[in-house]
Amino acid sequence: MKMRGAKILLESLKREGVEVMFGIPGGAIIHVFDDLYDDPDIRFIHVRHEQAAAHAADGYARATGKVGVAIATSGPGATNLVTGIATAYMDSIPIVTITGQVPTYLMGNDAFQEVDFIGITRPICKHSYLIRSASEVAQIVKQAFYIAKTGRPGPVIIDFPKDAQTDEAVFEYPERVEIRGYKPTYEGHPKQIAKAAELINNAKRPVILAGGGVIASEAWEELRRFAIKTGIPVTTTLMGLGSFPETHPLSLKMLGMHGTRYANYAVSNCDLLICIGARFDDRVTGKVDKFAPEAKIIHIDIDPSSIGKTVAADVPIVGDAKRILRELIKLVKPLDIQPWIKQIEEWKRKYPLTYKQSSDRVKPQFVIEQIYEATRGEAVIVTDVGQHQMWAAQFYQHTKPRHFLSSGGLGTMGYGFPAAIGAQVGCPDKLIFVISGDGSFQMNMQELSTVVMYNLPVKVAIINNSYLGMVRQWQELFFNRRYSAVYFKFNPDFAKLAQTFGIKGIRVERPEQVRPAIDEAIDTNGPVVIDFIVDSEENVFPMVPAGAPLEEMIGGMA
C-alpha cells in the first residue's frame, strides 16, 4: 500500500514508540501536520517558540529515558531549534528533530525560508539526514532513533523537503538496522576490567566520580552496589546528580567549581579516582595539571573519544557503565580504608554547605531547602542556568536518577521552564518543580501559555534577585564590582504576569512566607508561579576561581 512521505513519517515514529511531539507548524512541514490531524496516536504539544520545543523534547528524554521528538518548519523555525539541539548534544541527550525544508528542486536557490540546516547543525548533532524521497523515510527514521539512543546518546536531525512529504512510496518498516562504521562498544575488555579491580582492591584513598553516563546507561543500582560493597565514597558531576543518593553516608555530593569542599578535598587527595560516565569537564577539574595529582585514574566511558581527552587514564575501559560495573562488582572486595573514611568525615564536619540566615530577607538557599522539605525529595527538579542552578544542586538532596534536569555542558539560560513542560508531559503523575532565575525565566516565559493550554501542573520557583546573578558574582569578585549590564531594573511582577495567563501567582518577600507559598503551590491543581524576592547580592560558595586547582576554594565556610 502506497503512502505519502508525510504519512510514512508518522507511521514510522509510532513504530519507534513515539507518543508525543513538541513543536510549531509551518508551510514547509504542513503536509506532516495535515496527516497528524487524523492521527489519534501521537499527541502534539504546541509550544510558543521552537527553542522551547527542543528543550521540551530534551526534558522529556531526561525524565523518561525515551527519545524526545521536536518538529518545526524550515528557515527560522529550524534555526530556532539550534540552541536546544546544542544543549542536548553537550549533555548527551537522545532527541530527534524533524524540520521541514523547501522542495529539493529549489534547494540552493535561496528560496523562501530556506537554510542549509544540515550544514548549520553538523557540529552540534550526532548525525543528520536529508530525506530526498518517500522511499527513504522509514529507513531514515529507524536509523535516526537507533543512533540517538545507542552508544553515547545525542541529537539526530531529519530534514524533510516538501516534495518528499507528498511523494508516495510503499510503507515497509525495517525490523533491524545495520550502519557500517557505527558499532558502539558495550562490553568492557576483560583484561582492563581485571586491571581496574586490582587497583581498586589495593587502594587506600579511593573516590568514585559518577557522571551523566551512569544515568544514561541506567547503571545507578550497580553504582550503589559497587560503592557499598567496596565502601568507596562517591562524588558526582552536575549531570550525575541523583545517580547515587546524597543522603547516603558515602555521598560526597557534587564536586567542581561550586562543589562541596569535602568532595574537592577528597578528589585532590585520593590515590585512586574511578571515573564512570563523565568527561572531565573544566568545571569539574579546575586546573587540570593539579587535578587528583596523587591518583591513578580508571576511566569508564562508552565514548572512546572522551577517554584521555582531558585527563590521562591509567586504566581506560571503553563500554557501557552498567555492564562494566556488573563485572567489577564480581571482582572487587570490601576495602580496609577506615583512616580515609575518617578523614572524609572530618572534612564533612568541618566544611558543611552553609549560608548566613536572615530574619528579614529571603535567602535563596533557604528557598531550596524548603522546597526539598516540602517535596520530601520526591520532586523532579528542573533548573535554568546561573546561581539558582548551583544552589539547587547544593541544597536539594538528590536521591533519585532522572529527578534533576539541567543544562550542564552548554549552560543554556531559558532551558528550565520548557524542559519542565517536557518532563511533565512524560511523567504526568510526578511533581515537577522548576527552579529558575529572573533572567533565565524571561528567556522563555511565553510558555506560560503552553502550560495553561494543556493544564500542565508545573510549579515554578523564580529566585528573583534582579540581576544576572552569576555574572554579577564574577563582576563583584574579579572585576571590582563593576556591574556592567547585569541589573534588571524593570523586571515584571512575575506573580501578576502569571495571573494574566490564568495561572496562580504568588509573591514572597519575607522568610516566613516561603514555606506556606511552596505548600500552597503543591496543593494547587494546576500550574503555579512563585516569585521569591531574594537577597540581591547573595553569592554561590564554595567557588573555585577559573583556572585554579580544586583545593583553592573561596567562601562557603562557617
DSSP result, 456-515: ---EEEEEE-SB-HHHHHHHHHHSTT---S-B-TT---HHHHHHHTT-EEEEE-SGGGHH
Q: What is the pLDDT of residue 44?
A: 98
Q: Which three cell numbers stand for residue 214?
A: 551512569
Check if 51 is active-site: no
Task: Judge contact between 78 and 51, C-beta under 8 A.
Answer: no
Check if 191 is active-site: no
Cα(311)–Cα(526) distance, rounded to whole angstroms?
47
Residue type (1 letter), 241: L
User: Would you give the DSSP letter of residue 302?
Assistant: S
Cα(138)–Cα(252) distance, rounded to whole angstroms?
47
Cα(326)–Cα(276) distance, rounded to whole angstroms?
13
Strand order in the sheet with 20-23: 43-46, 20-23, 68-72, 95-101, 156-161, 127-130
Residues with Cβ < 8 Å from 167, sequence gap 6 or more? 4, 5, 133, 134, 135
Q: What is the pLDDT of residue 329?
A: 98
Q: Which three cell numbers stand for residue 195?
A: 586491571
Q: What is the pLDDT of residue 558?
A: 72
Cα(403)–Cα(551) distance, rounded to whole angstroms?
29
Determine how β-strand 168-170 pairs with β-strand 2-4. Answer: antiparallel
Cα(264)–Cα(348) distance, rounded to whole angstroms?
11
State the burial class of residue 119 (Cβ atoms within 10 Å of its Cβ: 0-12, 13-18, 19+): exposed
Distance of CA 488 to the CA centre of its chain: 27
Cα(260)–Cα(347) distance, rounded to whole angstroms?
10
Annotated catalytic residue within 3, 390, 445, 470:
470
Determine how β-strand 528-533 pairs with β-strand 459-464. Answer: parallel
Check if 113 is active-site: yes
Q: What is the pLDDT of residue 557?
A: 86
N-to-C CA span, the chain: 72
Q: How crowded is residue 266: how many other Cβ atoms within 10 Å of its Cβ?
A: 27
357 three-state secondary structure: coil
Check if 476 is active-site: no
Q: How crowded is residue 175: how many other Cβ atoms within 10 Å of its Cβ?
A: 7
What does each of the 558 residues of the chain score in pLDDT, given as a tens digit? 899 999 999 999 999 999 999 999 999 999 999 999 999 999 999 999 999 999 999 999 999 999 999 999 999 999 999 999 999 999 999 999 999 999 999 999 999 999 999 999 999 999 999 999 999 999 999 999 999 999 999 999 999 999 999 999 999 999 999 999 999 999 999 999 999 999 999 999 999 999 999 999 999 999 999 999 999 999 999 999 999 999 999 999 999 999 999 999 999 999 999 999 999 999 999 999 999 999 999 999 999 999 999 999 999 999 999 999 999 999 999 999 999 999 999 999 999 999 999 999 999 999 999 999 999 999 999 999 999 999 999 999 999 999 999 999 999 999 999 999 999 999 999 999 999 999 999 999 999 999 999 999 999 999 999 999 999 999 999 999 999 999 999 999 999 999 999 999 999 999 999 999 999 999 999 999 999 999 999 999 999 999 999 999 999 887
Annotated catalytic residue within 14, 107, 113, 343:
113
Closest to 170 in 3D by CA, of 4, 402, 50, 6:
4
Q: What is the pLDDT of residue 1?
A: 83
Annotated catalytic residue within 66, 142, 149, 162:
162
How far, CA to CA in Å, does 263 sit from each of 55, 131, 208, 271?
31, 49, 10, 14
Distance of CA 201 to the CA centre of its chain: 33
315 three-state secondary structure: strand
In order of their start, the domains of the chain are 2-170 (3.40.50.970), 190-350 (3.40.50.1220), 364-533 (3.40.50.970)
Check if 16 is active-site: no
Give the ranges where 91-245 is alpha helix by DSSP (H). Answer: 117-121, 137-149, 162-166, 190-201, 212-216, 220-230
Annotated catalytic residue within 3, 11, 16, 50:
50
Q: What is the pLDDT of residue 136?
A: 98
